[in-house]
Amino acid sequence: MTMQPASTEIASRTAAIIQELKGLEGPLLPILHEIQEEFGHVPQAALPVIADGLNLSRAEVHGVVTFYHDFRARPAGRHVLKLCQAEACQSMGSDAVAAKIKQLLGIGFHETTRDGSVTLEPVYCLGLCACSPSAMLDGEVIGRLDDEKIDEILAEVRS
Amino acid sequence: MIPRIYIPGDSGALALGAEKVAKAIAKELAERGIEAKIVRNGSRGAYFLEPMVEVATANGRVAYGPVKPSDVKSLFDSGFLTGGHHKRWLGAPDKIPFLAKQTRLTFARCGINDPLSLDAYKSLGGLKGLQNAVAMAPADIVKQVTDSGLRGRGGAGFPTGIKWKTVLDTTSERKYIVCNADEGDSATFADRMIMEGDPFVLIEGMTIAGVATGATKGFVYIRSEYPHAVATMNKAVEIARKAGVLGVNVLGSPNAFDMEIRVGAGAYVCGEETSLLNSLEGKRGVVRAKPPLPAIQGLFGKPTVINNVISLASVPIIMDKGAAFYKDFGMGRSRGTIPIQIAGNVKQGGLFETAFGLTLGEIVDDIGGGTATGRPVKAVQVGGPLGAYFPRALFDTPFDYEEFAKRDGLIGHAGITVFDDTADMLKQARFAMEFCAIESCGKCTPCRIGSTRGVETIDRLAAGIEPEKNLALVTDLCNTMKFGSLCALGGFTPYPVMSSITHFPEDFKPAPARVAAE
């Protein structure tokens, strides 16, 4: 498992991010994105620091963080595989693709393999609807998923 | 002259292996000692031909596609740098039937050149609209946009000029232009293609909106699922600033306008304009009640124009060629062109910009070429997850806001998902409710609770439990959601559900086989 930074370190790195971005109009989302970029998730220890820095209540910050699907409470696996489950991909068999990948990895959506190699997530549209079924592996887009491409993806996440 | 090779950097092309093709071509060039320039253009939108590689020859561009890395050696052997014949040869790109049949106004430049070359943008007519605008009185710009008949391309179809006029007429020391690039609807990718393939047209459109309404600051709110669009837009804004397109003196005029790119965080509901404004302000993306209209009290309580990417990207051509030119295309009250996105189980998927008025059947059968699987078309969903499913019997419906509304459908952001005869419409109806439950912002009861009860009721239908009673319950629930929800998420989820029930009743009949199997 990856080492978790101590809460004092989280606080100081969070404070630096807030300092850099708080001049923006409506800075909270850019700050949260930056924190997630920094730590791989939005740690609980960062929330009071944000609340203090932006003059918000902790409840408000908590409310925002938990509203958005993107912000993680815990770090993801080393790879993040997102499978599109929206209509265009459904029409091309995304259900079967997801079932196959879940079976091969031994996990369901929103879960991470026990070795921490990959987190599997559904996504509702990657804008690759004329190349369905589609997926995103660590930010790389993949279209027209077939058995061969599934094998390539699995080889990459297991390596 | 050094040969120029165009390999798309558009995410759709990348998803189909454009990066590997680019690497293979670069490697082959090096091995053969050929000097050539590789340009990463956007996509022209014919995704069934991507990755589509083009070469500039003495006789114009020649396209090849879909190119696989394994084709690269033989392409060089066939002399593709001078347009030589090969099994992937497609000829002049603008003669490819899928592209030749289109009327490209908004997407005129998309996919032709390096999207980040401002010179290339200008060489194809870019910035002419803004040049005209800065020499005009704001009210005259707004009048041009109103007269063009342009309606919001995000889905609601509200006249763009009227929105702008409200903002222009509202006095405030600060006003905003917000571009809704939270393109979350399945089957839509027009916004993504413009942002990745011709970002300056969006910047130009937003700047015109600023000059027209007196707004000095713009935000583009792009969904986080579009990292490539975010990167391209950020670079384009930087280039536009350096070139004086953005800044305190837009194109040397006394107008000030600057903009920022902001990234969403995976909430579908933030495509709803008031949720988006809350999200930009750093709040939970919950829907606001209207009134007050965003045009009067929008972002940070200030007058705000909030338009979809395609609406804003259609403004430069209107300001360049005039309202009458744009209005000349289309039918009825749907004027101009619409980028139709043909997606899902379809042979020739991609973006097809055309004047309003083609029938659904022409789009699916003639342009799309039927299903990818070769099976009969069962249903097409028009307008994304909140759009109705249309059966073949309604394929004579012309693509027009009002004509679709007359048949209990909507064109939305003009995405079309094709399904073959293996589709189970009960499953699709259930998904519509499930999606609404996942994405509901939670502010209003019909959407928050109705969607979950909807899933449960459809599950009971599927299990054959009191089918008549449960069908009536779903219908009643849809009625409550349609008229009782605050925004289109809860209000339009009934479209896919009710259209499935109405047009495909056989899929909702108790299935003895299904029950017996369990």
Residue B77 burial (CB < 10 Å; 0-12/13-18/19+)?
A: exposed
Name the closest residue on chain A to residue B283, using Cα atoms. Answer: A64
Q: Among all residues of chain B, which has the CA nearest to that of A50?
A: B282
Same domain, B53 and B156: no
For residue B284, the chain A residues in CB contact (below 8 A) are 63-64, 67
User: Is position B276 within any domain?
Assistant: yes
The C-alpha angle A29, A35, A36, rounded to 5 degrees, equals 90
- Could you tell me if B484 and B457 lie in one domain? yes
Q: Is residue A1 included in any domain, yes or no?
A: no
* Mean per-residue pLDDT, B205-232: 98
- Among candidate residues B264, B208, B211, B199, the one with its CA nearest the CA of residue B238: B199
Q: How confident is the model at residue A1 (pLDDT cuts 50, 70, 90)?
A: very low
Question: Rg for chain B (alpha carbons), in Å?
Answer: 24
Distance between A93 CA and the closest CA of chain B, angstroms? 9
**What CATH number corresponds to the domain at position B215?**
3.40.50.11540
Is residue A85 domain-shared with residue A37, that is, in the same domain? no
Domain presence at residue B108: no
The dihedrals phi and psi of A104, each to the nearest 5 degrees, come to: -65, -35
| Average pLDDT across chain A, whole number | 95
Choose the final residue of a domain: B42, B69, B100.
B100
Residues on chain A touching B217 (C-beta within 8 angstroms): 25
Full domain range(s) for residue A123 = 79-158
A83 lies in the same domain as A55: no
CB spacing of B343 vs A130 below 8 angstroms: yes
For residue B66, cis peptide bond before it (omega within 30 degrees of 0): yes
Q: Which of B280, B303, B327 is the last residue of a domain?
A: B327
E strand residue ranges, B213-325: 217-222, 258-263, 304-308
A154 and A83 assigned to the same domain: yes
Looking at the predicted structure, is the pLDDT value of residue B331 above 70? yes
In this structure, the answer to whether residues B275 and B200 fall within a common structural domain is yes
User: Is the model's pLDDT at B512 over the cut of 70?
Assistant: no
Pick from B157, B150, B68, B485: which is nearest to B316 by CA? B150
> What pLDDT, on a 0 to 100 scale, did the predictor assign at position A159?
80
- Cis status of the peptide bond prior to B292, with omega within 30 of 0: yes
pLDDT for the residue numbered B500: 98
How many domains does one find in chain A? 2
Query: For residues B426-449, b (16+ Cβ closer than 10 Å) or e, as one string?
Result: bebbbbbbbbbbebbbebbebbbb
Distance CA B310, CA B316 (A): 11
Q: Which of B97, B91, B127, B92 is nearest to B109 (CA)?
A: B127
Phi (first) and psi of residue B500, to 5 degrees: -65, -45
Q: Which of B379, B397, B420 is the last residue of a domain?
A: B420
Name the least confident of A6-10, A82-86, B24-28.
A6-10
Cβ-based contacts of B341 with chain A (< 8 Å):
129-130
**What residues of chain A lie within 8 A of the CB of B346, using their CB?**
130
Q: Is the pLDDT of residue A29 over 70?
A: yes
Instruction: With respect to residue A62, please indicate whether it lies within any of the assigned structural domains.
Output: yes
Q: Domain for residue A144, yes or no?
A: yes
A131 is in an annotated binding site: no
Q: Say if A2 falls within a structural domain.
A: no
Same domain, A12 and A61: yes
Picking from A27, A46, A67, the residue at the C-terminal end of a domain is A67
Q: What tens digit of pLDDT does each residue of A122-154 get?
A: 999 999 999 999 999 999 999 999 999 999 999
User: What percentage of chain B exceeds 90 in pLDDT?
Assistant: 97
Return d(Cα B462, Cα B465) in angstroms, integer.
8
Give the residue on B whose Cα is nearest the Cα of A138.
B227
DSSP string for residues in A89-126:
HHTTTHHHHHHHHHHHHT--TTEE-TTSSEEEEEES--
Interchain CB distance below 8 Å, A29 and B228: no
pLDDT digits (tens, 9 = 90+) for B54-73: 999 999 999 999 999 999 99
Which pLDDT band holds residue A6 (cuts at 50, 70, 90)? confident
Q: Which domain holds residue B375?
A: 330-420
CA–CA separation, A129 and B186 (whole Å): 7
Q: Do residue A50 and residue A103 come from a single domain?
A: no
Tell me the per-residue pLDDT of A70-117, one tens digit each, with 9 for 90 and over: 999 999 999 999 999 999 999 999 999 999 999 999 999 999 999 999
- Chain B: give the shortest CA distance to residue A50, in Å: 12
* Structural domain includes residue B179: yes
| DSSP codes of every residue in B19-53 | HHHHHHHHHHHHHHT---EEE-----SBGGG-S-E
Are B347 and B375 contained in the same domain? Answer: yes
Assign B89 a pLDDT band (cuts: 50, 70, 90): very high
Q: How is the beta sheet containing A118-123 ordered, strand by strand?
A: A111-112, A118-123, A79-84, A135-137, A140-142
What total number of domains does chain B contain? 4
Say if strands A79-84 and A118-123 run parallel, antiparallel, or are unpaired: parallel
Proportion of chain A above pLDDT 90, given as a percent: 94
Are A22 and A84 contained in the same domain? no
Q: What is the mean pLDDT of residues B421-444?
A: 97
pLDDT score of B517 more than 50: no
Preferred mutation among B10, B177, B186, B413 to probe A, highest tally of A CBs within 10 A: B186
Judgement on whether residues B209 and B294 belong to the same structural domain of the protein: yes
CATH value at residue B502: 1.20.1440.230
Nearest CA in chain B to A67: B284
Same domain, B257 and B377: no
Choose among B405, B372, B374: nearest CA to B387. B405
Q: Which residues contact B226 (CB under 8 A, 6 or more apart)?
A: A127, B11, B181, B183, B192, B195
Give the pLDDT confidence score for residue A5 in this predicted structure: 74
Q: What is the predicted pLDDT for the residue at B511?
A: 64
| Domain match, A18 and A49 both | yes
Q: What is the pLDDT of residue B516?
A: 47
Question: Which chain B residues have a beta carbon less than 8 Å from that of A127?
Answer: 11-12, 183, 188-189, 191-192, 225-226
Ligand-binding site membership of A84 (annotated)? yes
Residue A42 counted as domain residue = yes
Q: What single-letter amino acid sits at B325?
A: F
Q: Is the same domain home to B455 and B489?
A: yes
A60 and A108 assigned to the same domain: no
Is ipTM > 0.90 here?
yes
Is residue B112 in some structural domain? Answer: no
Average pLDDT value for chain B: 96
Reported confidence tier of residue B425, pLDDT bands at 50, 70, 90? very high
Q: And the tokens for A58?
A: 């902790």
Cβ–Cβ gap A125/B225 under 8 Å? yes
CATH of the domain at A97: 3.40.30.10
Give the gap in angstroms from C-alpha A21 to the nearest C-alpha of chain B.
Answer: 12
Q: pLDDT-derived band of residue A4, with 50, 70 and 90 as boundaries?
A: low
